[in-house]
Amino acid sequence: MWNKASLCAALVTVVCLAPGMAPAEGVYPDKEWASRSPSDVGLDRAQLDAIADYLQGRGCIVRHGYLVYSWGDMTERGDVASALKPWISHFVFKAVEEGRLGGLDAKVGDFQPWLNDLNAALGYKDRQITFRHMANQISCYGVSELPGAAFDYNDWQTALLFDTLFCRVYGSTLESVDTKVLHPLLTDLLGCQDDPTFLAFGVDDRPGRLGVSPRDFARFGLLYLHGGNWRGQQILREDLVRLAVSSPLPNSIPRTSAQQAEMCPGQRTIGSQRIPDNQTDHQGSYSWFWWLNGIDREGRRHWPDAPAETFAALGHANGMRGMAVVPSLDAVLSWNETRLGDLPEEPDPLNEVFRLLKSGDTTPISQE
């Protein structure tokens, strides 16, 4: 499904985005975040105040590895909805790195054999679903298209991926996913302070939902800002981090036609209850569950006032819960319970946040 023009565009995006990521060396939080004033790191406090007033809710801003601004209670752990999804793709990549998966194109049916018996009238299409398909929302699980043929933002397939990845690939259970996988392989390594959990509502209510505080979510963003390196330890290979945040789906991949297809009886969802589920288009900006600042089919940039290399994890309407990384500004923003969901979808209200942050940069321009 990748034509020559789309492949060239994707390669250009990778080349342009990769150099913008911050080097691995730098400042990292310890048990507590080291703090600086906005002016100490070249930011205008008035613009950060404007961000907080615009978003409301709670959150924090990190620059050069320092916590420089917060509003509301940044320590409060809460559900982040679909902003959890890049955490899932992180563990897909980690499974490949550790040899738990033979590669990103490993078949999901090898771990969930019942997939191989679905949709006989459609040529048993689900036999072809790979982890790459699922982590880019192009598995077409539950709709009629072949895997890879269409984009279907689908919380039933995300639940299938979560259960397959953590219960089959990592050998955990839903009850023990935090203690056996999330904590030892990620959040303990990052020194998270507020006990992140994949059981935000408990094991009996949509297990796999991420509960995390804004300041802990910012640690995850800082990890990706530094190419997977944390204090000299490569938690995830740099090439996999770069792939994650610089591989937007080509616009040649259409949105699903949303014709319902068979799913496994008893299939659970991680969020939406709609069947078939078809929540949004990829807008030329979707990469391994991350949202990028890509260009859609009409030639419009996702966030026109943000640096081109910006990437974000977003949940609920207009990204009202989430985290964003702006490599060229060496900055991470994290927020929750904002009013973004109450604002019009067009223009994308997150663009104003990025505009304010960029305009608040007072760092002198190098003359070199």
Rounded distance between C-alpha atoms, residue 292 and residue 42, angstroms: 25
Rounded distance between C-alpha atoms, residue 116 and residue 109, angstroms: 6
What's the number of CA atoms in the CB half-sphere (13 Å) around residue 20? 19
Rounded distance between C-alpha atoms, residue 173 and residue 181, angstroms: 10
3-state secondary structure of 312: strand
Nearest to 108 by CA among 169, 174, 151: 169
What 8-state DSSP symbol labels residue 329? G
List, in order of start, the domains of the chain with CATH numbers. 13-359 (3.40.710.10)
| pLDDT tens, N- to C-terminus, the chain (368 residues) | 344 334 344 333 433 444 456 666 789 999 999 999 999 999 999 999 999 999 999 999 999 999 999 999 999 999 999 999 999 999 999 999 999 999 999 999 999 999 999 999 999 999 999 999 999 999 999 999 999 999 999 999 999 999 999 999 999 999 999 999 999 999 999 999 999 999 999 999 999 999 999 999 999 999 999 999 999 999 999 999 999 999 999 999 999 999 999 999 899 999 999 999 999 999 999 999 999 999 999 999 999 999 999 999 999 999 999 999 999 999 999 999 999 999 999 999 999 999 999 999 999 865 44
Rounded distance between C-alpha atoms, residue 50 and residue 119, angstroms: 52
Residue whose structure tokens are 């009202």 = 320
Rounded distance between C-alpha atoms, residue 307 and residue 132, angstroms: 27
What 8-state DSSP symbol labels residue 17? H
Q: Read off the pTM.
A: 0.93
Residues in the chain: 368
Alpha helix segments (H runs only) across 29-163: 45-55, 85-97, 131-134, 155-163
